[in-house]
Structure 1
Amino acid sequence: MASSTTLRAVTHRLTTTPVNQLPQIALFLATSLSDCAELLSAPQTQKNGKSDSDNAVQVHKLKSRLVSLLQDRSFEGRWTAVVLVKATVEAGQWEILRGCEPLVRGLLAILGKPDPVSTKKLCIITLTRIFHLTHQYQTLVREITTPSLPAFITASLNLVSVKPSSEPNRILKPNAPLLETVFHAFTSLIVRHPTVFRPFSAQIHSLVLSIIGAASSCAGSVVQLAQQLFIALHNCAPKNTGPEEWKRACQLTISSLHRTADHTFRAVVEQWESTDPSLRQASKPRDSSQTVGDDGPDQLGLPSWEGIHAGADRLTALLYLLSRFMTTQTTSTVNIPIGSILDLTTRLTSVTVPPDSDDASQTAIQLNPEIGREEREQLWSELPRIHVACMDLFLNMIDTLGNSIVPVAQNILEQALWIFQAEKFNKEVRTSLYHLIRRLLSLIGPTMTKANISSLASLFRYCCHDLLPQDADPKSQSQNQSSDPKSKSKSNLDSTNADAFLNPGLKNSHQSASSASSFPALHSAASQLLPALFTCLPIEYIPPSLRAEFDRTAILTRNKDAMLASVLNPMPIVKGRQANPSIMPFLAREYPEEMAVESLLRPRMPVLLGAPERNGFKCMDEDDDEEENNVARGVTYETTTTTTRTAQDFIGRSSFAASVDKSTTANAESTARDDPVNGHNKRSQDEGEGSLQTKKARVESTISPISLSAAGQASVSNTTATKTLSETSSVPATTTTPSVTAPSVVRMQSTSTQPEAKAGDVDDEEDSGDEIPALNLEPDTDEEDEDEDVTMEG
């Protein structure tokens, strides 16, 4: 009832409100229509009563009003109509979609009118949404999507480009604010309707390549969408040829990269040799007297470029396009050319910035004498961002292939080390390296050898250096000491900052604050790599000095994950060397409220409530009842603070009790053989008492250290332990079982503090039915020797 009232109110306001005031209430009306989803999606053909007929009338009024607003002369009316059409279609689903042909025609007409950019953008989004909603209904696809989609593609292309009549390719408009919206719509629709896009694939291909070739002059989001659309065009290939088209586009991209590198790297004599015979014959670069560049379109069809900076832009754009090939999902299985990609990256990473560009004799790179110094220096300045793009390609390959990248992971690691050794001064390079090394360590870190870790030690130290503040870094402290104003000559006092004398800590605090705030990406990458150094590397192969630096960095930077990883992965104890101290106190002091820290400080064995008794262990509730009963009988427990009792303690004590039982039985049999009369009488008495007691009394499995020593002496002297039960009928049926988590040996003793029990007291205890019987380790003699019995406590 509330939905029908809301729908009636919406149609009333749409009809009575002036058109120029509709944009002000468009948001309210769209929200109200979403509340009427149940009414709009209900079948209108089933009319069971007057209310259903009234609802159908309201829905018809709403659709008629929306169609009239789409054809309205004012911008405000058309803008409001586009917003409400999208809300109505999403709320009504199939019931609205099956009659939305007039709405689709009105939306397509708006794309050809001189409406504002916001109206056309909303119109493209609404049409894309309608085409997606009709995809699950084949009838609606044939009736609405297939006839309307070609007109939509043509209208969208006309909004962002111009097609000359004499050329098949399109030319991008200099100012196209709807370019991102159009590319996003094409990328999402081309996968579901490839046959409809097939006639337009050449026009879209030319438009996309113009953006990829001039990536530096376009927005980053537009370039990424252009790359995705370029890769998605392989779906428009004829039937069952999509994977071959995808591989062909990938190979063309690699060939274009090699051609661009031939021109860009002409200042050096490359030592790289391709494994592909077709690439060994490199293209001839321009004459050395001319500016570096490429004159014609390459294998991919990209336009010409000129200059080192333009060549570096082309290389980075194509590398990011190749990375997009790794991450874009495909509808069918494709073959990734891993060998060709690694061959390309080997060439790009082998050309690095020399340590001293002025002295070519000290560098491993052979320079081309025909190229001037200025071009070489420009190339050195562009190499870091090219290598950052290479590492981004490696990361995308690892993300896509996962564990399948392990066979070539060592090759990727070697190329990363080449870049680090030559270009570690660049912060962007280090940021990308930290991300790449962290992913590689998760795959091949546990299998690394001591030599591998030694080769990575410099990178690990740089990671710690990037995390530590400048005042805590030993290198910066030594530099500060060497640059002490007192050590300078008087001639340099005029150039010294006077504020440094008034506040010496100002410079250090500024450096420590700027180290993390100026480069947050570098600090974040190093913080993520530090915990992996504890968990992914073989601990026994890490040098103690390097491990100490890891721990120090984790403590000073308050890296919780790294500190936890350090505690959970301690250094192994080596014979002849002192064990490294744990950083547990620092972790407990820094994060006292963390549950992970609490579990490390106070580990507890979980108790299984309601589990059956096994091997002498009982549930907690039974132990509590036994303890309460023993306390009522006057028995106390004495415990000592030790570590958690292990299962071997209980097994050992249970086996000792079993040996006492066996020795008691053997002693009784020997007594019967020595004294037939008394032995026969004693067996008869035992049998008589056994008829009265249905359950055999058990001896407590926990005994005192004194009793254990006595038992050990008895076993050495080959004496036989005997068990005397004064009052068998008074022994309780259940015995006290020690708790599983009890940390100490449990000892039971009488509430009396006298060291020795008198004969009268023994008689009193025998008469009482609440006392646990004592175990006598001496053979049975006369009654006068009862005072010398050694009681087994437990």
Structure 2
Amino acid sequence: MATRQDTAGPQATLRTITYRLSTASPKSLPQVAAQVAGLLWSCKELLSSSSTAKQGSAAATTVHRFRTYLSTLLQDRTIEGRWAAVVLVKATIEAGGLEVLSKSNGWVKNLLGILKRPDPPTTRILATINLIRIFMLTWDHSNLVRETTTPALPGFVATCLSNANHQRCSSAELHTTLEAFATLLPRHPTIFRTNETQIRALLTRILSSGSINVSESHYSAEHQDVARRVLVLLHHCSPKQGAGAKWDETLKATITATHATCDRVFRSVVENWQSSSGVQPSVNANVLLQGEAQMEVDDAAGLHGWTGIFAGSERLISLLGILEADMETETSGVVTVRVGAVLDLVSRILNLRIPSAKHGSATLNHQVSKDERDALYVNLPSVHVAAIALVQSLLQRFGKAATSTVQTLLGEVTWLFATESTELDVRTGIYSVTSNILELQGSSLTKDDVIDIESIIKKCCEDLLPIGQHGSTQILMVNAGDIGTQQANTASSHATRHAKLDVAAKALLRNCFAKLYPPHIPGRLRTLMERTAVLTQDKEALVSCVLNPAVSSNRSKVQPSLLPLLAQQHANAAEVEAILRPRMPVVRTGRKQADEDELEEDKYEADDHAEEDVTVIDDNAEADAQGGADQQAIEPTADLLAALVQQDAAADSEDLYSVSPQIIAKTRQEEAVVLGITSEKRRAEEFPTETGAQKRAKTNAVEEGSPGHGEVQATTISEHPPSSFVTAPEPSQQVVAETKTVSSTAVTNTVDMGSDDSDFEMPPLTMEQDTEDEDDEGEE
């Protein structure tokens, strides 16, 4: 009987999966595989444990039985069985990790066999994804690369090329094959080198869409995007460290082919452009104007010829896409980018614009028909979108290194926006490029530059706030008088919002607040920007607006802030919390930790001095009485001295923020009390009027009255106010002098307290010269 732990553990789960698969009918295997694939992750510990740990145990038997069944299912005669096996192999490899991967050679061979079968495209797609994942997992283990990837990859590439060229290849399968090449080629260039010619031919056919030689197939934009990336990555296959030179050669050939295509597509107008990189016409003008616009032979990039303005425009877009892929695709080594040649090509394309009544039109070439010129104007916005995407990739790749080109690009983009702002894709691209330009050099733009892009910013705000049918934005008031909760009504002329346009417009609005110098923004434009940020409830734009407030020419006028609206709309945002309640750490002097030991030492020394000063040895009853009276006068002084020592030590250890006027006042009051007591002793010494017997008699009278200790202390302080001639020394000297005085008085009373003939006189606490000797001589 199985135990409870065994029933609920991974071993029991794996046994259940094996039993469920083995008892299912072939037709139901796809449904069963989809159900049990998720359960394999719960068996992760069992599948990933080493074979030595499972050797001779029931777990080893369970895992071996499951693996054997999967191997059998991969060779099943039914399509359903092979499809289920491919799905389960992927789940098992993800759960088992290195342990399963090291024993997957048999599965790799079976998966390659499935690729060669005439199975449905979905099965071959899953098998391709499985093999890509296995090859990628072996990259961190050189022994697995040597044992698994290197033997299987050549057959995989050849099989994928064969399937891609076959008529049964579906669109999804072709896309998966191209993605596989883009993933594996940079890591295994030597294996792909043997098939470079076949791969380049496949890519050329895909990118030559609309050519006169390839008309039986149509490839989507997704296919062409992946094909461009693979074409750029083929430079890795160059032998003997020639990848960088091959990349530069491909870039130069693509630029040359693009200029040649522009010569034929733009022949209906006279271009107002002069090359800055020495580009010459690719064909004689007389030959260029003959017949229909076409390219009869393959161009410099290796693409096939084309015929007609529409096919030429598609080829121009495809070539610009290859240049964009050159900028975006990573390379394994250092390459040289011809930035000047690329910008020269972009300038040529952007200088040709659609004619308008306000901005006029380009010079027409009357040797070309009007129909061809109209076809050019129809396709020109799409070409401009591709050129703008190339500019954006260039700015993103080089960043601050491309700041020297920003001013020229900004002028071209502004001029293009004036003529083609009605095109949705053109606006989206211009918003993105303008946003990138502001990120790079927005703070250095002059006031004239800001005025030039004012039309772009206004249109950006209009796109974020669609205008209603009656010419005003319709606002849905959730709460009357509550501006922070207003929401723009979606019922407008732009019922369907463009996602990419919204993203680009919001990014541009945020950068306008954050990067542009506030005094350079006109007042009306600033108001429109703030209104757009509030009504769209864009948190990033509102934060940028609050952090970069508007500046008025009149300094006495306070500009309103959007901070209350920001706090109302986004109360839980961390950025809003930081703006509303900024917190700074306490600034320390760094002395507190170092002075703690000194404070403790001073405290102990003060306690020792106080104990020594107040210790009195009683010799007889009279000495006890006399000493008791003196002790009552000494103890308050000793306590105050100890308090002063502790206060001085504590004051040294305080940081900059702990000093307060209350502590200083209290310290001064304590010093005044000490000075008062010292003054009493001084007055008693200078005017001795009673003999020793009289003192004893007076002491006995005091004992009969039995006054308390507190009464004696209070009477002493009140009857003898501080003397006016006492000079207070510095705090450090005062503590030392007072300590010595009290100590001397205590010792004298102890030794000779009952003697009437004692000549002891208490030394003065002032810094004045002693004049008692002169007084004695005068009396004599």
Q: Aligned to 2:234, what secondary structure does the other structure show?
A: helix
Q: Aligned to 2:190, what secondary structure does the other structure show?
A: helix
Once residues 408 and 727 of structure 1 are traced to their aligned partners in structure 2, the CA distance between those partners, rounded to angstroms, is 75
- Residue 15 (structure 2) aligns with: 8
Map residues 280-299 of structure 1 onto 2, 5 A cutoff: 280-282=281-283, 284=285, 288=289, 290-299=291-300
The alignment status of 1:608 with 2:586, answered yes or no, reads yes
Is the CA contact 1:82–1:126 (under 8 Å) kept in the aligned structure 2?
yes
- Residue 231 (structure 1) aligns with: 232
Q: Aligned to 2:453, what secondary structure does the other structure show?
A: helix
Spell out, residue by residue over 1:321-368, the C-alpha distance to the aligned partner (whole angstroms, 9 max, x if none): 2111111112222222211110110100111112139xxxx7362211
Map residues 167-182 of structure 1 onto 2, 5 A cutoff: 176-182=171-177
Once residues 18 and 469 of structure 1 are traced to their aligned partners in structure 2, the CA distance between those partners, rounded to angstroms, is 58
Spell out, residue by residue over 1:583-629, the C-alpha distance to the aligned partner (whole angstroms, 9 max, x if none): 4454455555655445545x465463999899xxxxxxxxxxxxxxx
TM-aligned CA distance change 1:244 to 1:68, over 3 Å? same
- Residue 553 (structure 2) aligns with: 574
Shift of residue 195, structure 1, vs aligned partner: 1.0
Map residues 178-189 of structure 1 onto 2, 5 A cutoff: 178-189=173-184
- Residue 254 (structure 1) aligns with: 255
Once residues 274 and 604 of structure 1 are traced to their aligned partners in structure 2, the CA distance between those partners, rounded to angstroms, is 55
Is the CA contact 1:353–1:423 (under 8 Å) kept in the aligned structure 2?
yes
Spell out, residue by residue over 1:680-729, the C-alpha distance to the aligned partner (whole angstroms, 9 max, x if none): xxxxxx999985762579999669xxxxxxxxxxxxxxxxxxx9959944
TM-aligned CA distance change 1:611 to 1:13, over 3 Å? farther
Shift of residue 435, structure 1, vs aligned partner: 1.3
- Residue 373 (structure 1) aligns with: 370
Counterpart AA for 1:373: K
TM-aligned CA distance change 1:191 to 1:285, over 3 Å? farther
The alignment status of 1:409 with 2:388, answered yes or no, reads no
Shift of residue 295, structure 1, vs aligned partner: 1.5
Is the CA contact 2:263–2:282 (under 8 Å) kept in the aligned structure 1?
no
Once residues 450 and 131 of structure 1 are traced to their aligned partners in structure 2, the CA distance between those partners, rounded to angstroms, is 56
- Residue 323 (structure 1) aligns with: 324
- Residue 133 (structure 1) aligns with: 137
Shift of residue 457, structure 1, vs aligned partner: 2.0
- Residue 436 (structure 2) aligns with: 439
Is the CA contact 1:566–1:583 (under 8 Å) kept in the aligned structure 2?
yes
Q: Which protein shows a greater Rg?
A: 2
Shift of residue 100, structure 1, vs aligned partner: 3.0
Once residues 37 and 589 of structure 1 are traced to their aligned partners in structure 2, the CA distance between those partners, rounded to angstroms, is 49
Is the CA contact 2:37–2:91 (under 8 Å) kept in the aligned structure 1?
yes
Q: Which runs of 5+ in 1 are unaligned?
A: 163-171, 479-508, 615-685, 704-722, 732-765, 769-794
Q: Aligned to 1:275, what secondary structure does the other structure show?
A: coil
TM-aligned CA distance change 1:259 to 1:67, over 3 Å? same
- Residue 511 (structure 2) aligns with: 532
Map residues 4-83 of structure 1 onto 2, 5 A cutoff: 4-45=11-52, 50-51=56-57, 54-83=58-87
Once residues 570 and 41 of structure 1 are traced to their aligned partners in structure 2, the CA distance between those partners, rounded to angstroms, is 59
- Residue 451 (structure 1) aligns with: 448
- Residue 118 (structure 1) aligns with: 122
Is the CA contact 1:234–1:245 (under 8 Å) kept in the aligned structure 2?
yes
- Residue 654 (structure 1) aligns with: none
Once residues 403 and 463 of structure 2 are traced to their aligned partners in structure 1, the CA distance between those partners, rounded to angstroms, is 29
Once residues 99 and 669 of structure 2 are traced to their aligned partners in structure 1, the CA distance between those partners, rounded to angstroms, is 90
Once residues 252 and 103 of structure 2 are traced to their aligned partners in structure 1, the CA distance between those partners, rounded to angstroms, is 47
- Residue 674 (structure 1) aligns with: none
TM-aligned CA distance change 1:98 to 1:555, over 3 Å? closer
- Residue 154 (structure 1) aligns with: 158
Once residues 11 and 670 of structure 2 are traced to their aligned partners in structure 1, the CA distance between those partners, rounded to angstroms, is 91
Counterpart AA for 1:78: R
Counterpart AA for 2:371: E
Is the CA contact 2:468–2:493 (under 8 Å) kept in the aligned structure 1?
no
Is the CA contact 1:107–1:127 (under 8 Å) kept in the aligned structure 2?
yes
The alignment status of 1:423 with 2:420, answered yes or no, reads yes
- Residue 85 (structure 1) aligns with: 89
Is the CA contact 2:275–2:344 (under 8 Å) kept in the aligned structure 1?
yes
- What fraction of aligned residue pairs are identical, expressed as a percent? 34
Counterpart AA for 2:45: E
Counterpart AA for 2:116: G
The alignment status of 1:395 with 2:374, answered yes or no, reads no
- Residue 694 (structure 1) aligns with: 644
The count of corresponding residues between Structure 1 and Structure 2 is 599
Counterpart AA for 2:220: A
Q: Aligned to 2:194, what secondary structure does the other structure show?
A: helix
Once residues 454 and 553 of structure 2 are traced to their aligned partners in structure 1, the CA distance between those partners, rounded to angstroms, is 21
TM-aligned CA distance change 1:133 to 1:511, over 3 Å? closer
Once residues 174 and 10 of structure 1 are traced to their aligned partners in structure 2, the CA distance between those partners, rounded to angstroms, is 34
CA RMSD of aligned residues (A): 3.8
Once residues 320 and 604 of structure 1 are traced to their aligned partners in structure 2, the CA distance between those partners, rounded to angstroms, is 48
Spell out, residue by residue over 1:451-488, the C-alpha distance to the aligned partner (whole angstroms, 9 max, x if none): 22222222222223333342599xx469xxxxxxxxxx
Q: Aligned to 1:279, what secondary structure does the other structure show?
A: coil
What TM-score does the superposition give when structure 1 sets the normalisation length? 0.68
- Residue 560 (structure 1) aligns with: 539
Spell out, residue by residue over 1:649-674, the C-alpha distance to the aligned partner (whole angstroms, 9 max, x if none): xxxxxxxxxxxxxxxxxxxxxxxxxx
Is the CA contact 1:571–1:579 (under 8 Å) kept in the aligned structure 2?
no
- Residue 303 (structure 2) aligns with: 302
Once residues 574 and 99 of structure 2 are traced to their aligned partners in structure 1, the CA distance between those partners, rounded to angstroms, is 53
Counterpart AA for 1:378: A
Once residues 469 and 13 of structure 1 are traced to their aligned partners in structure 2, the CA distance between those partners, rounded to angstroms, is 58
Q: Aligned to 2:117, what secondary structure does the other structure show?
A: coil
- Residue 736 (structure 1) aligns with: none
Is the CA contact 2:640–2:670 (under 8 Å) kept in the aligned structure 1?
no
Q: Aligned to 2:461, what secondary structure does the other structure show?
A: helix
Once residues 19 and 700 of structure 1 are traced to their aligned partners in structure 2, the CA distance between those partners, rounded to angstroms, is 87
Is the CA contact 2:461–2:505 (under 8 Å) kept in the aligned structure 1?
yes
Once residues 529 and 131 of structure 2 are traced to their aligned partners in structure 1, the CA distance between those partners, rounded to angstroms, is 56
- Residue 781 (structure 1) aligns with: none
Is the CA contact 2:71–2:107 (under 8 Å) kept in the aligned structure 1?
yes
Once residues 593 and 82 of structure 1 are traced to their aligned partners in structure 2, the CA distance between those partners, rounded to angstroms, is 47
TM-aligned CA distance change 1:576 to 1:403, over 3 Å? closer
Once residues 669 and 508 of structure 2 are traced to their aligned partners in structure 1, the CA distance between those partners, rounded to angstroms, is 68
Map residues 770-789 of structure 1 onto 2, 5 A cutoff: none
Q: Which runs of 5+ in 2 are unaligned?
A: 1-5, 211-216, 474-487, 593-635, 652-657, 676-712, 716-780
What TM-score does the superposition give when structure 2 sets the normalisation length? 0.69
- Residue 198 (structure 2) aligns with: 203
- Residue 243 (structure 2) aligns with: 242
Shift of residue 213, structure 1, vs aligned partner: 1.7
Shift of residue 254, structure 1, vs aligned partner: 1.2
Once residues 133 and 200 of structure 2 are traced to their aligned partners in structure 1, the CA distance between those partners, rounded to angstroms, is 24
- Residue 647 (structure 1) aligns with: none
Shift of residue 203, structure 1, vs aligned partner: 0.5
